[in-house]
């Protein structure tokens, strides 16, 4: 049964934001504690951001692979349990920040530990773990081989973009590829080991959550980073010139978030080539996502109807043009493969009738954001009385301010309208907004953890259009100690959103 077919509620929190001893939230003990807290608070959905490696600006939406996991999420304590690390080595870690992820410091420490762990594993893998590793490499080879080689070559080529590598590697000529695989065999094994560790730790957490009635909700970015194994390995599927460089890149025109639009910079798809392949790459990508999660939010859904194409090298997103996407053909191919599509359509921004028709043709739930509801009047699409059951409603997403931060920066009109509509004097506005969503007809409502904790703008996850300081937020156990768990559970119970009580 699709978790969105019944009334439910949940929390938006990326695992990197969890507490933990090694500078970044991971799949260790605190992740299991969070699942237990979700159960205690009557929540049945845990939504997170993409689980891939972070890219420029620490963004999880610019990963070097659409398939590989973020190694910073690997629990080092679990590796120590296998004797691949010692407690003394872990105790020698730097003094990490408890409330921000310092990516350079965390990455240097964790990669060093992973190097040690990999060396000890390969020195004495043992039959059980050795067989598990080999089985993983075989099962995932359709993406893992290219990813591991890409990572090895990227380092060997002094972190230059792949289009600047030796021509034989850029063109993926068989002789050059075979030579590189032989030359970098140890590095390939290391990167595969890391992805294996990510996979078995994630699977253990996923099973723990599922056994307790917590459904994990993932996030699939529509685009991938140029400097990625996917673009290098599948060049014909992207709009590239003869040198392998993008001719057009992704973004959105000026909107609510930015007067100059958003210049994301991802290469755009050559959709005709995808169609000719039967959308094989997209089918593989969604199969991978559906194996990780019970539901996935597909970011920038409107790009499947039409997308904003910006000339490569443009200074901003203003001078792009709309181009037709694959439309229904892609989703028909997906539906023929998977029979059902457990997808949430991120249908925010400038949405046309064609986007709505595409979403509704496949009965995909869209998103409503309460912070967007008060800029106009009662006709506003984001007001709860306009919701339908097949909707996922949020106070805000990772791109929004916290609800308290939004309240303090709102216009006079927004505050006046919100006070009237929500029947509030503005006190505890976060709880008022969450209560209004929970009482709505939307089948699913999801609250950022910052709203549960009553935090201000200093705790927002991302500010679109800014290049630094994003994706770093973490909470501490002290925050959770002050959380009104019983109040959240009572709201879920009141509005019949706790499936466990039925």
Domains of the chain: 3-75+204-458+476-501 (3.20.20.80)
Token output for 268:
């755009």
Residues whose CB falls within 8 Å of the CB of residue 239, separated by 6 or more in sequence, listed in order: 246, 247, 248, 267, 268, 269, 270
As a whole number of angstroms, the distance between CA 295 and CA 68 comes to 18
Measured at the CA of 143, the angle between CA 138 and CA 148, to 5 degrees, comes to 90
| Backbone torsions φ then ψ of 27, nearest 5 degrees | -90, 25
User: Helix, strand, or coil here: 188?
Assistant: helix
| pTM summary value | 0.96
Active-site residue identified among 102, 145, 399, 456: 399
Spot the catalytic one: 346, 347, 401, 451: 346
pLDDT value of residue 145: 98
Whole-number Å distance between alpha carbons of 162 and 229:
9
Of 244, 213, 242, residue with least CA distance to 226: 244
Instruction: Find residue 240's DSSP bridge partners.
Output: 246
* Predicted pLDDT at 5: 84
The pLDDT value recorded for residue 350 is: 79
Residue 111 in contact with residue 234, Cβ under 8 Å? Answer: no
Local confidence pLDDT in tens for the 502 residues of the chain: 677 889 999 999 999 999 999 999 999 999 999 999 999 999 999 999 999 999 999 999 999 999 999 999 999 999 999 999 999 999 999 999 999 999 999 999 999 999 999 999 999 998 999 999 999 999 999 999 999 999 999 999 999 999 999 999 999 999 999 999 999 999 999 999 999 999 999 999 999 999 999 999 999 999 999 999 999 999 999 999 999 999 999 998 887 667 888 898 999 999 999 999 999 999 999 999 999 999 999 999 999 999 999 999 999 999 999 999 999 999 999 999 999 999 999 999 878 999 999 999 999 999 999 999 999 999 999 999 999 999 999 999 999 999 999 999 999 999 999 999 999 999 999 999 999 999 999 999 999 999 999 999 999 999 987 888 999 999 998 888 889 999 999 999 999 999 887 6
| 220 DSSP β-pair partners | 298
Name the active-site residue from 299, 347, 401, 451: 299
For residue 431, give every residue at least 6 positions away whose Cβ sits within 8 Å of its Cβ, in sequence order, or none. 454, 487
Known catalytic residue: 299? yes
Q: What are phi and psi of 383, to 5 degrees?
A: -75, 140
H or E stretch including 218? strand 215-220
Per DSSP, the chain holds a count of helices (H) and strands (E) of: 20, 12
DSSP lists the bridge partners of residue 249 as 267, 310
Strand order in the sheet with 321-324: 262-267, 248-252, 306-311, 321-324
354: annotated active-site residue:
no
């Amino acid at each position: 049964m699709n978790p969105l077919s019944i009334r439910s509620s949940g929390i938006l929190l990326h695992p990197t934001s969890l507490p933990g001893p090694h500078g970044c939230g991971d799949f260790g003990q605190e992740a299991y504690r969070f699942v237990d807290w979700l159960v205690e608070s009557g929540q049945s959905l845990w939504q997170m951001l993409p689980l891939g490696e972070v890219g420029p600006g620490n963004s999880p939406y610019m990963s070097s692979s659409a398939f590989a996991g973020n190694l910073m999420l690997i629990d080092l304590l679990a590796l120590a349990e296998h004797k691949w690390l010692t407690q003394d080595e872990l105790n020698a870690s730097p003094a990490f920040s408890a409330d921000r992820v310092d990516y350079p410091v965390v990455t240097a420490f964790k990669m060093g530990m992973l190097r040690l762990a990999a060396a000890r594993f390969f020195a004495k893998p043992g039959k059980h773990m050795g067989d598990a590793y080999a089985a993983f490499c075989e099962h995932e080879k359709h993406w893992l081989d290219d990813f591991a080689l890409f990572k090895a070559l990227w380092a060997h080529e002094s972190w230059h973009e792949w289009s600047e590598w030796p021509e034989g590697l850029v063109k993926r000529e068989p002789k050059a590829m075979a030579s590189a695989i032989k030359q970098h065999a140890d590095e390939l094994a290391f990167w595969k080991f890391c992805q294996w560790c990510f996979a078995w730790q994630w699977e253990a957490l996923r099973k723990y959550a599922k056994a307790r009635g917590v459904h994990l909700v993932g996030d699939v970015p529509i685009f991938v980073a140029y400097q990625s194994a996917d673009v290098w390995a599948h060049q014909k599927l992207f709009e590239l010139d003869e040198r392998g460089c993008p001719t057009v890149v992704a973004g959105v025109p000026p909107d609510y978030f930015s007067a100059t639009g958003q210049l994301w910079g991802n290469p755009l798809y050559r959709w005709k080539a995808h169609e000719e392949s039967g959308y094989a790459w997209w089918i593989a990508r969604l199969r991978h996502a559906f194996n990780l999660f019970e539901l996935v939010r597909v970011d920038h859904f409107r790009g499947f109807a039409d997308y904003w194409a910006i000339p490569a090298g443009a200074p901003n997103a203003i001078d792009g043009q709309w181009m037709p996407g694959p439309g229904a053909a892609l989703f028909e191919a997906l539906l023929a493969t998977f029979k059902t599509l457990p997808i949430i359509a991120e249908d925010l921004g400038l949405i046309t009738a064609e986007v709505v028709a595409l979403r509704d043709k496949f009965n995909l739930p869209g998103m409503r954001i309460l912070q967007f509801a008060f800029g106009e009047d009662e006709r506003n699409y984001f007001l709860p009385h306009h919701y339908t059951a097949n909707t996922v409603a949020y106070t805000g997403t990772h791109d929004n301010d916290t609800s308290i931060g939004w309240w303090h920066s709102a216009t006079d009109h927004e505050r006046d309208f919100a006070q009237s509509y929500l029947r509030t004097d503005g006190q505890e506005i976060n709880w008022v907004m969450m209560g209004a969503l929970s009482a709505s007809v939307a089948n699913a409502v999801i609250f950022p953890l910052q709203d549960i904790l009553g935090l201000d703008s200093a705790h927002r996850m991302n500010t679109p259009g800014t290049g630094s300081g994003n994706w770093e937020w973490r909470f501490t156990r002290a925050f959770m100690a002050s959380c009104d768990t019983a109040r959240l559970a009572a709201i879920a119970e009141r509005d019949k959103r706790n499936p466990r009580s039925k």
